[in-house]
Amino acid sequence: MREIDYDNWERRQAYEFFSAMSHPFYAVSFRQDVTGLYNCAKQQGISFYESMIWACTQAVNSVSAFRVAMRGGRPVELDMRHPSFTDLRPGEEQFNIVTMKHNTDLSAFCEEASQLRRAQDTFMDESKETDDLIYYSCLPWIDLTAATNERDLSAPQALDDSIPRIIWGKYTEENGRKILGISMEVNHRFIDGYHIGQFAQNLEQCINSLGGSRE
């Protein structure tokens, strides 16, 4: 973790501007070609869902603005954010929330995620709820176009919430490619559209590096 010099923080004016708002959160949705990730998951025999969480976590951590959080009323830059994701077991209607440390190795990440998903027998482990997470969810029954998330704006320091929320739906086939709708909700005190653009570009590069790019 790195402490940010608030007085010389290049984002200070934007941060103070959006801090005056009662609801500084906003959502952006976009379409993503996930063919390379799908092919990689199928070839390696790993979960596409877990692979998608891994790729998005890689992309989030590659953009420093996504790693900014408030601690003790001061901005800090986290070393890494970690995934916290919903998990719905076959034949059940009630999901669980699984939280784990990120691993930059795809296979190792998916192996650990699968083990945690099988072992968890409670709704969530509140001891793992920290400010260095990324919240993930999936609606695999619909072609998602947009989504919002629940928030308790009456909670102390509610506006300090810097945790990105990322949701996607089912992938669709378009010209032999697998396309996924992704919705991301962030805090404008820390993250602008430019940074979401960086995330999207880095996610695409991460996916294409696994195979199945358009070239």
- List pLDDT tens digits, range 32-66: 999 999 999 999 999 999 999 999 999 999 999 99
The pair of structure tokens assigned to 71 is 């601690």
Residue ranges of domains in the chain = 24-150+160-208
Q: Which helix (H) or strand (E) holds 135?
A: strand 133-139
CB 76 within 8 A of CB 82: no
Furthest-apart CA atoms within the chain: distance in Å:
54
Question: Which pLDDT value is given to residue 7?
Answer: 97
Separation between Cα atoms, residue 117 and residue 89, nearest integer Å:
9
The phi, psi pair for 69, rounded to 5°, reads -140, 165
Question: Which pLDDT value is given to residue 215?
Answer: 42
Question: Which pLDDT value is given to residue 131?
Answer: 97
Q: Given CATH 3.40.710.10, say whether it is the number of domain 24-150+160-208.
A: no
The pair of structure tokens assigned to 3 is 């402490």
Supply the DSSP symbol for 127: G
Separation between Cα atoms, residue 206 and residue 59, nearest integer Å:
7
Question: Which pLDDT value is given to residue 139?
Answer: 97
Q: Mean pLDDT in each 10-residue stretch from start to end of the chain (215 residues)?
A: 97 98 98 96 96 98 98 97 96 96 98 97 95 98 96 95 98 96 98 98 96 49
